[in-house]
Amino acid sequence: MGETSGKPAHLSSSVPDPWSVPMLPKPRRPHPKVVVKADLLPAVSVLSTAGLLGFPLAWLWSRLAPPQRMRVINAEGGLAPLELESWHRFDDLAIYGFLALAAGLLIGVVTWLLRERRGPVVLIAATGGATLAGWLGTTMGVSFANGRYEIGAAPAVGDVILKAPQIESTWIMLAAPLMTTLAYTLLTAWNGREDLGRRLG
């Protein structure tokens, strides 16, 4: 009763089985650290390049956004929109929002493709560049539109003129950086590696 497989009970737990394979402990890999110094110069390049995207964003919006047809109602230059023309105020804002979201998505995906520089430093730079692009887009876009629909001579009372499209909410400039951060974060979660795949090969 006190023996198991021909061995005393008090020895069965202490004597190793000669046919057992010893289990070696798995080596622990050190967790990759956040690289800051080596990523600073590439981060500056990402920020400036992404910010320059604001110029084509502004030009494209000034060509796509519809103007408002306005009627001159008095000699002082008072204007009144024609029927349904005031809806273009929303159209102008919505068109810019979609373009800014596309620009932010482009910045986030292209930045992620810089495999050797993946990490929070480049993400912050990409978000800052998208913010700069959003600011340039809202500022330069209105300037481009005003130049395109500039009125050469003073209109008479009753004339119908084209009023340049406007961006009436400054909050829309945050669309690009928000989309950049979202795209980069989703790609990071999808990757699932501790070093985000920075080590090639």
What is the DSSP annotation of 61-97? HHHHSPPEEEEE-STT--EEEPTTGGGHHHHHHHHHH
Distance CA 35, CA 26 (A): 26
Q: 186 lies in which domain range?
A: 42-65+86-155+164-191
Q: Specify the pLDDT at position 6.
A: 52
Amino acid at site 193: R
The 10s digit of each residue's pLDDT in 24-63 is 566 565 555 666 677 788 899 999 999 999 999 999 999 9
- If one counts the domains in the chain, the total is 1
First to last CA, the chain: 60
Q: Specify the pLDDT at position 199.
A: 66
183/158: higher pLDDT:
183
Q: Specify the pLDDT at position 160.
A: 78
Q: Has residue 199 been placed in a domain? A: no
Q: Has residue 51 been placed in a domain? A: yes
Q: What is the DSSP letter of 15?
A: S
Q: Specify the pLDDT at position 149.
A: 83
Phi, psi (5° rounding) for residue 162?
-100, 120
Q: What is the DSSP letter of 150?
A: -
Q: What is the mean pLDDT of residues 131-139?
A: 95
pTM: 0.76
Distance CA 118, CA 112 (A): 6
Q: Has residue 98 been placed in a domain? A: yes
Q: Has residue 33 been placed in a domain? A: no
Give residue 88's Cα distance to chain centre: 26
Q: Has residue 18 been placed in a domain? A: no
Q: What is the DSSP letter of 2?
A: -
Q: Specify the pLDDT at position 152.
A: 73
Q: Has residue 15 been placed in a domain? A: no
Q: Has residue 128 been placed in a domain? A: yes
H or E, element range at 126: helix 120-148
Q: Does residue 123 register a pLDDT over 60?
A: yes
User: Can you tell me which residue has the tokens 């004597």?
Assistant: 15
Handedness of CA 143, 146, 147, 152 (dihedral sign): negative
Beta carbons of 107 and 130 less than 8 angstroms apart: yes
Q: Has residue 74 been placed in a domain? A: no
The 10s digit of each residue's pLDDT in 66-106 is 988 878 877 666 777 777 778 888 999 999 999 999 999 99
